[in-house]
């Protein structure tokens, strides 16, 4: 069995940290265009591994749906944001897409908790719900970009989610490397 969920988790943590750090930057700076590469790098890994997982089903059924499809949505958002940043376009259209992806992530998180999926269903569920909240609220952070408190709150939510997925990813690497 090929299981690359640990890569997906580490990448998701990195992507969420990249977004959090980006929204903490001064908004109207030409230096912000340099962030586009990091968005696209993380987005490509998320989209590619997510599509692969969605189509090949290497994990038990609910995990493919949750991790694969949510990874695709996150990847597309990161790629779209990266291109928008590089071109100097508004991020609001990407935020509209992020609202729907965020709602889906929140639903997946709730079902993880409800069904007791994974060894730590509450932690995993919150790990989906927090980025979902970030996606649903992304338009506020972009639209009210001069409100530092709002950007800090958004970054805090994403840092918390990244911490959950980094911890989960490290545990996945730790146990996946066991020789059996």
- Tokens 């989610």 belong to residue: 161
107-120 pLDDT, tens digit each: 999 999 999 999 89
Task: Give the pLDDT confidence score for residue 9 in this predicted structure.
Answer: 96
Indicate the range of 26-30, 36-40, 76-80, 131-135 predicted with least confidence: 26-30
Which residue range is the domain that position 80 belongs to? 5-176
Task: Give the pLDDT confidence score for residue 141 in this predicted structure.
Answer: 94
Average pLDDT value for the chain: 93
Higher pLDDT, 63 or 40: 40
User: What's the CATH number where 118 sits?
Assistant: 1.25.40.600
Question: Into how many domains does the chain fold?
Answer: 1
128-143 pLDDT, tens digit each: 999 999 999 999 999 9
Task: Give the pLDDT confidence score for residue 175 in this predicted structure.
Answer: 85
Of 156, 140, 137, 122, the C-alpha closest to 24 is 156
Contact 16, 131 (CB under 8 A): yes
Could you tell me the pTM of the whole model?
0.94
């Amino acid at each position: 069995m090929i299981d690359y969920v640990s890569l997906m988790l580490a990448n998701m943590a990195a992507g969420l940290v990249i977004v959090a750090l980006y929204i903490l930057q001064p908004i109207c700076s030409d230096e912000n265009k340099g962030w586009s590469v990091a968005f696209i790098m993380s987005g490509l890994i998320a989209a590619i591994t997510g599509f692969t997982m969605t189509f090949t089903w290497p994990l038990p059924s609910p995990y493919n749906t949750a991790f694969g499809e949510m990874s695709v949505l996150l990847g597309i958002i990161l790629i779209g944001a990266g291109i928008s940043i590089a071109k100097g376009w508004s991020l609001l259209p990407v935020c509209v897409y992020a609202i729907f992806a965020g709602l889906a992530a929140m639903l997946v998180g709730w079902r993880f908790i409800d069904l007791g999926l994974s060894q730590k269903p509450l932690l995993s569920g919150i790990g989906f719900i927090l980025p979902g909240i970030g996606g649903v609220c992304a338009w506020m952070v972009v639209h009210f970009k001069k409100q530092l408190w709002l950007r800090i709150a958004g970054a805090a939510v994403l840092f918390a989610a990244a911490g959950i997925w980094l911890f989960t990813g490290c545990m996945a690497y730790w146990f996946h490397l066991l020789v059996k």
